[in-house]
A and B are shown apart, each in its own frame.
Chain A
Amino acid sequence: MTRYAMAIDQRRCIGCHSCSVACRTWNDLPMDIIYNPVLGGVVEGEWPNVHRNYVPTLCMHCKNPECVPCCPTGASQQDEDGVVWVDYKKCMGCKVCVNACPYGMRDTSHTVRRFDEYVRKCTFCKERREMEPDKDPYCVQTCHQKARIFGDIDDPNSAISRLINRSDTFRLLEELGTDPQIYYIPALGGKR
């Protein structure tokens, strides 16, 4: 079965924020919403092996998402391929899922008209992939460093599977048991 995931290669990321800009443009986001902030930028390591470490983030599309079962309207859903998304027609903007997400990757806009707020989040560009199935999410396509690799993690021949299998990876806040599907390949030769 298809199971979408993303690998983020920190060795390649230079913190240019192209992915953030691409996402904002494609999704036509309000001013105060960002789906994929590029965190970090701290210098780590010991001289001469130092590296400016960026942590590009987005919704982790967890296998055990906290944000889906808590939704009182059923707007927050997870597809069989693992993509977590919000049905805007069902959302009433109660922000329970926003509070439930341990990664802070959901939000409502504070600049849109009152009474027309709903929860927004990354969907791995679900609508775009439905129209053009062979296309990657916009942030992946835009990353000129090829630091973001998207694909089916259940397919052993996919690029993401092969990359994750041969690399030392970590995931954010793994201890919470949400089983996030964004894998980070750390900089500094795989040492965290």
Chain B
Amino acid sequence: MDKVTYQKENMNPQYPHHYWEYPIAIYLFLGGLGGGILFLSWVLSAFVFPGIDLTQAFMLPNFVALIAIAIGLFFLVFELGQPPVFYRAYVTATSIIKWGAVLLTIASFGDLFWLLGNWSPATPVLGFLSVFNFLGGLSGIWLAAAGISGFGIMVYTGVMLSTLKAHAFWSTPALPVLFTISALSTACAGIMLLMGGWPGVAADMHAAHAVHELLHTCDIVLVIAEITVLMIMVLSFLGAGNRTQQRVAKRWVKGSTAPIFWVGMIGIGLVIPLICNCSGVAGLATLASILVLCGGCLLRFLCVWSDDRQPLPDENRYYFRLKTADPRFMTEWYKEGKDLERGQTWAPKENLF
């Protein structure tokens, strides 16, 4: 006798909604970018070119890093259920989010103090800000604090997701590695685009050129490493992952997000920049940097959207039925719920049922 089993494997595999939406993806990208720029500017200034003053060359990249972290934090706070009480994130000692908040704070203030300490106001109107010049004496300390915290931010963005083992696609050691490489790669691209662009005092162009050459080479290596890690991660999930990992990997490789993955992330975000960087044409190197930034952003979006959880028995069927059994009823139901929360009187709609 055949086993009587009623399974709905082909029903909508989506859960009620994504718990984290686009603001978190933007935050992860901008946090990684800002942290990477700060880390690289510290390493290059302190260790790679210790005898050369790279302050003016890094003014604009570090300013943009501060803006990127600030915008990222805005999106992070915006995504909170209760943004006005965001300061509660600093309370516990065990949470990884708390360490992220601390690192972001140190990096932001370190970068801000470094910028103020090294900023020579061009006009007398802004001369009052010279009160911050005393910060310039501790310039190395501010940059070190920002750089070390920046490294922590790069790693933390991936670690934060990988600790959530409810989500099979995130819960892998490869994800922090991928995010760190991507953050370094986008930071190289960002610095190459912005270096020496600070108005006013001209940067040491010879030194800037040497840094540019080094970053150019580093970016080629990092893009190759990113392609390698990404393909290993996705294809190993596809071939040897559990059911949830396989489902997400299948969606990336040949499913609904395959065009974004292959064309957007791999093609436009990694392979074309690699070809452009290897071509040696100056204009193409600029294009490559822009495309690397786009690819890094796409990576965060795709990862945040891949928050599939291992379903409980027939969970998909339950939520599928709830959402689609009577779409009109559900629409009105939610609408009435919102009206009730606003204090409006509920009144049954005619012909609803």
Contacts and interface: CB of A to CB of B under 8 A. Distances in A.
B314 A44 contact: no
B20 A95 contact: yes
Report the interface size class on chain A.
Answer: 35 or more
B6 interface: yes
B83 interface: yes
Interface string B1-41: 11111110000000111011000000000000000000000
Interface string A19-51: 000000000001110000111111111110010
Nearest to B98: A72
B341 interface: yes
Interface stretch (A103-111, A122-130, A140-148, A154-162): A103-111
B330 to A, nearest CB: 10
A117 B82 contact: yes
Contact of A102 (B16, B89, B309, B317): B309
A72 B101 contact: yes
A72 B317 CA distance: 33
Contact of A71 (B83, B90, B92, B307): B92
Contacts of B97: 70, 72, 94, 96
B52 interface: no
Contacts of B5: 42-44
Given A55-B313, A91-B82, A93-B81, A70 B89 contact: no
B337 interface: yes
A3 B166 CA distance: 25
Contacts of B317: 39, 41-42
B6 A74 contact: no
Given A41-B317, A94-B80, 6 more contacts: A42-B313, A43-B5, A66-B166, A70-B96, A102-B166, A113-B341
Top 8 A-B pairs ranked by shortest CB distance? A93-B81, A117-B81, A31-B337, A72-B97, A102-B166, A73-B88, A72-B95, A111-B337
Interface of A: 30-32, 37-47, 50, 53, 55, 57, 66, 69-75, 90-96, 98-104, 107-108, 110-113, 115-119, 172-173, 176
